[in-house]
Amino acid sequence: MQSTDSNPAPLILAPGGNRRSFLAAVAAGADAVYCGLKSFSARMEAKNFTIENLVPIAELARENDIGLYLALNSLVRPAELSQVAACLEALKRRVKPDALIIQDLALVSLARKIGFEGEIHLSTLSNFCFPQGFRALEDEFGVRRVVLPRELTIDEIKAMAAVCPENMGLEVFVHGALCFGVSGRCYWSSYLGGKSGLRGRCVQPCRRIYESGGRRERFFSCKDLSLDVLVKVLKPISGIRAWKIEGRKKGPHYVFYTVKAYRMMRDHGHDPAARREAAALLERSLGRPGTHYNFLPQRPQPPVDIDKQACSGLFIGRIKGAGHNTSVNPRESLISGDVLRIGDEDGPFHGIVRVGRSVPRQGRLNVKLRKGTGSPKGTPVFLTDRCEPELDRLISDLEDRLPADPVPPEVKLNGGGGDPLLTPRPAKKAFRVSVARTLPDTDDQMQAGLWISESNVQSFGEKRNSGLWWWLPPVLWPEQEDRFAGLIESLIQSGNQRFVVNIPWQTAFFSEPGRYTLWAGPFCNISNPEAALVMQDMGVKGVIVGPELCREDLSALASSVDVPLGIVVQGWWPLCISRRRPETEEPPAIYESPKKEIAWNVQHESDLWLYPNWKIDIEDKIPELKRLGFEMMVYLSESLPESVIPKARPGRWNWDLTLL
């Protein structure tokens, strides 16, 4: 659809976590739908699709002129590269999606090699967060759209759009879940749950209750992003190609209501009655309470409100009675098939109830709960999903139009094995680097690394050929870009040669990367040899691998690529980095989980870094890492608050575990 001005109207991009949700998006008038496979998706808890399931879906999408985007946006382990290549080949041949949404740079290279004809879109997990980054995306890189972080303000979005190349476009989130951590910079689930959020297996530890300062609250559990009527200021911005609705784990009701609402605000946003109707649709979409967060910098809204519930669903009442007489008198009429959640997921009375008959407003619905949990009286009840008869009819009509799933067997994408481990390359002389916020104490066996800051550049940056390793931050917002570009240029002019980028797009700050000793840092999350080679093509001389690789992965990576490799062997690694601040006292603050896990925070630049009170520590594996060919052994320092007592706990989630 075209807008009335010179800019194309943004597409309404809807989530399709399963077939019925996909069809609900079609019924609501979505312009494009994004889906995931049962592997290599950053939302593995969604039902997702097999390639066989997608074939008829793709045909229906083409018949209705609806874009089909495939999210292959998880990190890829070395042993999975052949599986990913087979998946891409099957998608190209049988599904022909309009675009791939990717996080791992390996997918850029693999898609090019197999001749994929659709577009490549950078997921928000790729942390494309500052305007100069576009310089790193040369035309041959093949990216045609960038999904912006949810944290950006409208002014920052405009700054990104102003320099976005004509052959590229931007995608902006307008509705859906907010994470406390910046996308691509959260390792909380890996640390505390043994399952990687970057691999689509997040166990959502940020949604838990924590204790801090004598209070037990959900300090990190965010509301949903909801720009609602504010989207009118996005519409005139040239370069924004799509308004994205998050929610691949959501049901058809949510998808239908949110798509209808944002399509109404895009097409009839000038009409007050249409805006009111759209707002009412969002109110009843069964998501979490909404916030526009930092979208309007002059009127920000906190994403966390610990005094109000932040669970998804519409509150409909509280449990009454006890024992066999538990019931709820709903504030809303219920229909057969409605799904209710009793209490919070980590609460003592949590349960899921499917309504078997219609219940009028303030009627009585008997509820059966687990035995032996005590009195559930007062436990809140939420309506989390439903399918009204009219929506069910629309979905059924579309299902009748779907061709049958094809008969050929599905391409196998799951399972272990994969590429065999190769013989480790010859060991090279290894060196150690200690990285700190201020100049660390080192000996003759240890090189020094510093995070770039005004004070550090002023104090140590003018020491020509000092030998320091200068580390760029893992998050860089548009408001910081010019300042950091100036600091980097000052260091270069002073003869400094060693730099570590922690976002791939930070290579744009170096017009001639070959002149410097430029390494990709661990926050680039490089996890396989193909991605390491892409970084090498972008000008880096070495790669410090991502922190979530186990021993098997490290061996396979080291034996498969000739790029110099480094690894963090000891130090304080963050649970997450956030642009938000929890509702507690100023940093540092201490948090304790129900499992007695301790976390603490510290402010660096404009971001909050949240740490556990135990280190990554695989220092005793250095001899083995040297045999594998790793050269740079990195130690990360951080000044602990006096009130934090380090815990003697093995920090080997990044060695012993395969983070599924």
3-state secondary structure 404-468: CCCCCCCCCCCCCCCCCCCCCCCCCCCEEEEEECCCCCCCCCEEEEEECCHHHHHHHCCCCCCCC
Handedness of CA 423, 427, 428, 432 (dihedral sign): positive
Matching residue, tokens 């109830």? 353
Buried b (16+ CB within 10 A) or exposed e, 483-500: ebeebbebbbeeebbbbb
Q: For a pLDDT cut of 70, what percent of the chain falls above it? A: 91
One-character DSSP codes across 139-162:
GGG-EEEEE--TT--HHHHHHHHH
138, 143, 166 from 506: Cα distances, Å: 13, 16, 21
pLDDT of residue 374: 54
pLDDT of residue 375: 57
pLDDT of residue 413: 41
Pairing of strands 607-612, 616-617: unpaired
Tokens of 638: 């951080």
Identify the band that residue 425 occupies on the pLDDT scale cut at 50, 70 and 90: low
Centroid of chain to Cα 443: 39
One-character DSSP codes across 61-114:
HHHTT-EEEEEE-S---GGGHHHHHHHHHHIIIII--SEEEESSTHHHHHHHHH
pLDDT digits (tens, 9 = 90+) for 253-294: 999 999 999 999 999 999 999 999 999 999 999 988 899 999
pLDDT of residue 372: 53
Provide mean pLDDT across the span 60-70: 96
Identify the band that residue 419 occupies on the pLDDT scale cut at 50, 70 and 90: very low
Tokens of 171: 């995608």
pLDDT of residue 307: 75
pLDDT of residue 371: 61
Return the top range by mean pLDDT from 159-168, 198-207, 341-350. 159-168
Within 8 A by CB and 6+ apart from 586, the residues are none
Matching residue, tokens 């989207």? 231
pLDDT of residue 418: 41
Tokens of 390: 């009219």
pLDDT of residue 648: 84
**Is the pTM value of this prediction over 0.75?**
yes
Matching residue, tokens 């009527």? 229
554: helix, strand or coil: helix
What torsion, rounded to 10 degrees, do the Cα atoms 482, 483, 485, 491 define? 160
439, 474, 506, 544, 596 from 192: Cα distances, Å: 31, 21, 30, 23, 11
Listed range (350-354, 371-375, 378-382, 431-435) with the worst mean pLDDT: 371-375
| 110 pLDDT more than 50 | yes
State which amino acid sits at residue 56.
P
Q: Which domains does the chain have, with CATH numbers?
A: 11-178+223-286 (3.20.20.60), 314-385 (2.40.30)
pLDDT digits (tens, 9 = 90+) for 453-475: 999 999 887 765 568 999 999 99
Identify the band that residue 411 occupies on the pLDDT scale cut at 50, 70 and 90: very low
Listed range (379-383, 432-436, 524-528) with the worst mean pLDDT: 379-383
**Cβ-based neighbour number of residue 394 at 10 Å:** 18
**Cβ-based neighbour number of residue 649 at 10 Å:** 12
Matching residue, tokens 């405009």? 158
Across the strands, what pairs with 121? 101, 145
* Terminal alpha carbon distance of the chain: 40
State which amino acid sits at residue 485.
A
pLDDT of residue 1: 40
